[in-house]
Amino acid sequence: MSVLVVGSVGIDRIETTQEDRSDLLGGSASFAGLAASFHAPVSLIGIVGDDFPAHHRAVWEKRKIDLSGLQVAQGKTFRWHGRYEENMNNRHTLSTELNVFADFKPELPHAQKKLPFVLLGNIAPDLQHLVLDQMEKPKFTVADTMNLWIDIARPRLLELLPRIDMLILNDSEAALLTGESNLLRASRWLRERGPRYVAIKKGEHGCFLSGKEGAFAAPAIPLDKVLDPTGAGDTFAGGLTGYLAGQKEINLSTLAHGVLEGTLLASFAVEDFSLNRLASLSPKDLETRRKELSRLINPHP
């Protein structure tokens, strides 16, 4: 079944202690859409300016992503400039230019309103609501969020919770939103307010998934080298939602496998800048690392 992925599309400039790279394809929908496309047909909903280069668009087209819901507006594409510290965990936003994204109103083409799986990528809760307002009873809705929205749009984010099936956020965001630093209590707090499932991401420490049937803990895949962590969370959410769209049932077991697929794709995403590594992934690359991940969590290898 198909997945509707909505989020930001941007052009990034990213500095690490080693490199300074410009004109990179970025944004939550870019990563999440590409990741989901490894498992399901994807329709991408977003907005770009008339400066958006054809070679960026080609990255999605090559993976047969439906771009009929990608608006092209007069003006410049959203731009973000960030810098990572040596440890690759701490990052600083040096500049954000919303440009055409400032007036983004998701408008779903008729066919997209019926899609069964929805990933509300990391954008303002108002926009996430606007997408759900247009959908006709999706089978499963996943939402991602970030500290910015918890800080400036908390009421709207809380109103979103009863409308979604699963919330994805990281551990510090979960603590900020719930007031609980304990994973069990934070997850329970969130599930009591709507979503049946919650995935709390812990960066290099993996992810804690829970629902009323129980919990699943996935490690991250230890990597020798991380070039650019941008988009890892979006890739995780996209890989997870794409995987679910291919399953007959959604339950704790299929979600746990979804978390592992998200983990797998995210581990590739950070090995190069932008979507470069994801875009060049072969089925064999995926299969080799999938086996490695399976051994990593299995005490009977």
Q: Which residues bind its own copies (CB under 8 A)?
A: 87, 181-185, 202, 204-206, 208, 214-217, 219, 222-224, 252-253, 256-257, 259-260, 295-301
Nearer to its own copies, 92 or 205 (CB): 205
Find the shortest distance in angstroms from Cβ 22 to its own copies.
27
Nearer to its own copies, 243 or 273 (CB): 243
Tell me the C-alpha distance between 159 and 171, whole Å.
20
Find the shortest distance in angstroms from Cβ 207 to its own copies.
10
Tell me the C-alpha distance between 254 and 33, whole Å.
20
Location of structure tokens 């965001």: 173
Find the shortest distance in angstroms from Cβ 180 to its own copies.
11
Which residues neighbour 73 within 8 Å (Cβ) at sequence distance 6 or greater? 47, 48, 49, 50, 100, 103
Tally of CA atoms within 13 A in the half-sphere of 142 that contains its CB: 33
Nearer to its own copies, 93 or 288 (CB): 288
Nearer to its own copies, 92 or 295 (CB): 295
Find the shortest distance in angstroms from Cβ 280 to its own copies.
23
Tell me the C-alpha distance between 257 and 136, whole Å.
27
Find the shortest distance in angstroms from Cβ 287 to its own copies.
17
Nearer to its own copies, 50 or 85 (CB): 85
Alpha helices, H only, the chain? 28-36, 54-61, 125-134, 147-152, 154-160, 171-178, 183-191, 232-245, 252-269, 276-279, 283-297
